[in-house]
């Protein structure tokens, strides 16, 4: 996976996990009973087992997504901290990884004290630098394995 795809996957996985957790909270919240005054001869179908199974599936999915996110974090931090330029590192962490939620471009620019366009240029240069390192690493590993 290339650098930008890896970093973008972190943002999208975080958003997906957040949405799944919201869905889980909704499923776990108590439901009201509607009574419209109409007499019913039969009992409503008990859906408790079905609901519990759905919640369990949702929890399993969330756990899988969190595991994938952890692996992507590890790869991303390895790539980011291979950069010599501290502005590049800071930018990538702020935009893709930081805190409760990754920052938007205007927020990153404000934090770093640069214009938004300058921050976007840094972003491009940082990704180019990471790609060069990835290509060099791949080239070196094939040389070590005796394939060159």
**Residue 36 pLDDT level (bands cut at 50, 70, 90):** low
Report in angstroms the alpha-carbon separations of 46 from 26, 27, 42, 73, 126.
18, 15, 12, 42, 56
pLDDT digits (tens, 9 = 90+) for 76-102: 999 999 999 999 999 999 999 987 777
What pLDDT is recorded for position 10? 94
Cβ atoms of 16 and 72 closer than 8 Å: no
Neighbours of 82 (CB within 10 A): 13
Q: Is 70 exceeded by the pLDDT of residue 110?
A: yes
Please name the residue that has the structure tokens 């756990």. Answer: 63
- The residue count of the chain comes to 148
């Amino acid at each position: 996976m290339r650098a930008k795809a890896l970093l973008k996957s972190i943002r999208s996985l975080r958003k997906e996990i957040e949405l799944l957790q919201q869905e889980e909270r909704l499923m776990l919240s108590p439901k009201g009973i509607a009574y419209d005054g109409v007499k019913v001869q039969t009992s409503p179908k008990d859906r408790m087992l079905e609901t519990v199974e759905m919640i369990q599936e949702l929890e399993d999915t969330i756990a899988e997504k969190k595991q994938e996110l952890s692996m992507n974090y590890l790869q991303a931090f390895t790539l980011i901290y291979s950069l010599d330029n501290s502005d590049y590192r800071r930018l990538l962490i702020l935009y893709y990884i930081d805190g409760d939620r990754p920052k938007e471009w205007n927020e990153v620019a404000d934090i770093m004290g640069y214009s938004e366009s300058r921050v976007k240029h840094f972003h491009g240069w940082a990704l180019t630098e990471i790609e060069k390192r990835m290509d060099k690493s791949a080239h070196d590993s094939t040389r070590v394995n005796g394939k060159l």
